[in-house]
Structure 1
Amino acid sequence: MADISVEIIVFEIFTRVPAKVVGRCKSVCKTWYSLLSTKDFAKIHCSRSLISSNQRILFVGDLTCSVHPIDIQSCDYGPGTIVPFPFDDISIHSNLDGLLLVGLKRTYELVLWNPTTGAYKRLSTPDYHGFYEHMLDGVGLYIDVNEDYKVLHIKRRGGVYCVSVYSRSLDSWRSIPFVTKPEYLSLSFHWSSGTLCGDILYFRVSESLVGGTNVLICFDVNLEQFKEISFPPVRSTGVFCGELVNVSNELYMFVSNGYRVMSVELWKLEEEHWIKVLACPQVSMSLDLWCTMSHFMTNGNWLLMTKQGKLFEIEMDTKPFQCFYHVNCFRLKNGAMFLETVVSPTL
């Protein structure tokens, strides 16, 4: 029988095994380490890792963090595994292909981190690029047409916007132009982290949870151009919040509305128009259970996340909808949904 070539072993076998197994295989010998560390290997392995079973939930404590699988059948978390936590305190802003974009709360630095491999890259520079300030900035992680992982950073300082893009391939920042309405410079507006869908990063810009203006700012990652589109046409009846999610590369928004009795609707963006997909009955919910939007829905039910990181189930009279939604930041408890991959924060 003919010998199997190294290329077949690497690109047909190892690209199909879990990321943690790849990490262990790198220690076998220098040849394997070299072959399993290439950009091409990481790209193919990542493309074959985009399945639900590789989704994990990361919970971040004060000094440690743990990674948990999700049991779709029971709608609960599996046993956690403690992973090395190289930071003191973080906020999680975005995730893509196993990379997390996080902010260090003590130093304000932005960092790209792969919690599966433990590798990370600080994006701060001596000329003050890569420093994030909570409630002032907007950030998003994306990949462009040249397969370069990039970070968009929208700074708001002293009534002036400064927009910069970090390139992983160049390991450097550069400024790009941004024109928007003057009122969005006001500190009364809050910018969400960016949600990547297709070739667009979407930012939710909200004046207030109760009343006020709500819009989406869209950034074309290849043309590097911005535009504004409206929120779904929902009349506010109290606390009003929209959470963006990417489902199979289509943009949806969960809109929660009310106070102690909440209504939740799911809207889908088609071109620049919103189409209502689902609406749940009004749900009585005390403020201590006030939820961030669900990170997945299965068997026809919505699962919402409480402040304490517990799942809260709302029964839906609809067909099963099998998909996962990512979570950027839990209320009072940091965490994120991510894929286990070998994608590196550096080249």
Structure 2
Amino acid sequence: MADLPVHTIVFEILTRVPAKDVGRSKSVCKQWYALLSTQDFVRIHCSRSLVSSNQRVLLIDDLTCSVHPIIFQSNDYGPSSIVTFPFHHHNNDVSILSHLNGLLCVYLNHTYELLLWNPTTTAFKHLSTPDSHGFYINNLDAIGLYVDADDDYKVLHIKRRSGVLGVYVYSREVDSWRNIPFITRQEYLSVTPC
């Protein structure tokens, strides 16, 4: 029996397995790690996970985080799996600000820190830096996640402080923040109720 090409194993077989198993498969070898980390793999895996039997909802309450399958026939949730927070937090302290392909940008209310967190693998990354990047203030800031043309996950952080608007982008690949020049009209700088 001939050996299967790696590309077939990765893109025809591993795109059909649960995300947790994909995470484990990254440790097989450097080639698999590189292939399983591409945006093409993520897109194919996500599209194959979009069948109703694979849909899940993440619920966070005081001390726990749970993942429930969605039962579309009854518009209800199935039995939960508990996901432990791998980072230090207090009761009612974690807020989800943005999500993309299973990756969450969360905010710790007591420290104002931003984190990237994958609840499936429990891996996380603090985005705060000594020079005040990666700190979020509720009702003043906005956060978004996106993937750029080079398949790098980015966090867009728009900060409004004392009438000054700052736009910053965190690169997961480079593991650093950079300031983006942004010209805006004065009315966007004031805090007014919608």
1:110 aligns with 2:105: no
Identity of aligned residues (%): 59
CA-CA distance at 1:52 after TM superposition = 3.7
Partner residue of 2:33? 37
Aligned counterparts of 1:100 and 1:127: Cα–Cα separation in 2: 23
Q: Tell me the SS of whatever aligns to 1:117.
A: coil
Q: State the structure with bigger RCO (CA 8 A, min sep 6), 1 or 2.
A: 1
State the partner residue of 2:70.
70
Counterparts of 1:62 and 1:146 in 2: how far apart (Å)? 38
Counterparts of 2:101 and 2:62 in 1: how far apart (Å)?
25
1:138 and 2:142 correspond: yes
- Is the counterpart of residue 97 in structure 1 residue 101 in structure 2? yes
1:244-280 CA-to-partner distances (Å, cap 9, x unmatched) read: xxxxxxxxxxxxxxxxxxxxxxxxxxxxxxxxxxxxx
- Counting only pairs closer than 5 Å after superposition, residues 314-325 of structure 1 correspond to structure 2 as none
Query: Separation in 1 of the partners of 2:162 and 2:15?
Result: 48
Q: Give the greater-gyration-radius structure (CA).
A: 1
- Larger fraction in strand: 1
| Structure 2 counterpart of 1:58, one-letter code | L
How far apart are residue 3 of structure 1 and its match?
3.0
Letter in 2 for 1:46: V
Q: What corresponds to 1:81 in structure 2?
A: 81
TM-score normalised by the chain length of structure 1: 0.50
Q: Residue 21 in 1 paired to residue 21 in 2?
A: yes
* 8 Å CA contact 2:22, 2:36 repeated in 1: no
1:25 Cα deviation after fit: 4.8
How far the C-alpha of 1:35 sits from its partner, in A, is 4.5
Alpha-carbon distance, 1:181 to partner: 2.2
Equivalent residue, structure 2, for 1:46: 42
TM-aligned CA deviation for residue 2 of structure 1: 2.1
Higher normalized helix content (fraction of residues): 2
Q: CA deviation at 1:171?
A: 0.9
Q: 1:41 to 1:132 in 2, by over 3 A?
A: same
Distance 1:113 1:24 in 2: 17
Residue ranges of structure 1 left out of the alignment (5+ in a row) = 189-206, 209-347
* 1:149-170 Cα shifts (integer Å, max 9, x gaps): 1111111111111111111111
- Mapping 1:1-347, distance limit 5 Å: 1-25=1-25, 32=28, 34-38=30-34, 40-42=35-37, 43-48=39-44, 49-50=46-47, 51-53=50-52, 54-87=54-87, 88=89, 89-188=93-192, 207-208=193-194
Provide the C-alpha distance between the structure 1 equivalents of 2:132 and 2:158, rounded to a whole number of angstroms: 13
| Aligned-partner Cα distance in 1 for 2:29–2:73 | 37
Q: Aligned-pair distance for 1:70?
A: 0.9
Counterpart residue number, 1:217: none
Q: Which runs of 5+ in 2 are unaligned?
A: none
CA distance in 2, matches of 1:55, 1:150: 25
Report if the CA contact (8 A) 1:94-1:101 is conserved. yes
- C-alpha distance after superposition, 1:278-301 (max 9, x if no partner): xxxxxxxxxxxxxxxxxxxxxxxx
C-alpha spacing 1:116/1:102, structure 2 compared with 1 (3 Å): same
Runs ≥4 residues deviating over 6 A = none
